[in-house]
Amino acid sequence: MRPPGDILLIACYELGHQPLSVAWPAAFLERAGYTPAVMDLSVEPFDAEKVTRARIIAIAVPMHTALRLGVIAAKRIRTLNPTAHICFYGLYAALNADELLAEACADTVLAGELEDQLPGRWPPRRARQAGVPRAGTPRAADDQEVHAR
């Protein structure tokens, strides 16, 4: 999982702001010796070459618009690279985990603040499929949820 581009981090929409939802995970992965590729769909076109090269594709969905765009991207990713492991993460991934997994958009959904734990999660492990705690449920930083189909 360490060759350049094996991990692809995708930002879909950040209201015109810098995509910290991929910048932070990229920094933590790079610090651990990985070389993730990054694609920001709000400012650059969908790059089929990056998608076909990746083995793990993590889609950041910190808000509703990003979730909707991420689902569209995931469907296109499945067509171009059906063997890639697709992971959704971010606030709206957690809130919509059951739907993302049921519709086969995601293989894994990660919840919580997880950047510092990402290197230990790649490649993602298969985990139990389960519902995500309701919005407002307090979570400790080290109590991360992993959901898989």
What are the sequence ranges of the domains in the chain? 7-148
- What's the pLDDT band for 132 if we cut at 50, 70, 90? very low
φ/ψ of 51, rounded to 5, equals -65, -45
CATH architecture of 7-148: 3-Layer(aba) Sandwich (3.40)
Residue 9 has what DSSP assignment? E
pLDDT in tens, 64-89: 999 999 999 999 999 999 999 999 99
Give the tens place of pLDDT for each residue, 94-114: 999 999 999 889 998 988 777
> Pick the residue with more confidence: 80 or 149?
80
When comparing pLDDT for 93 and 143, which is higher?
Answer: 93
**Strand pairing of 145-148 and 108-111?**
antiparallel
Question: Quick check: helix, strand or coil at residue 133?
Answer: coil
pLDDT of residue 107: 93
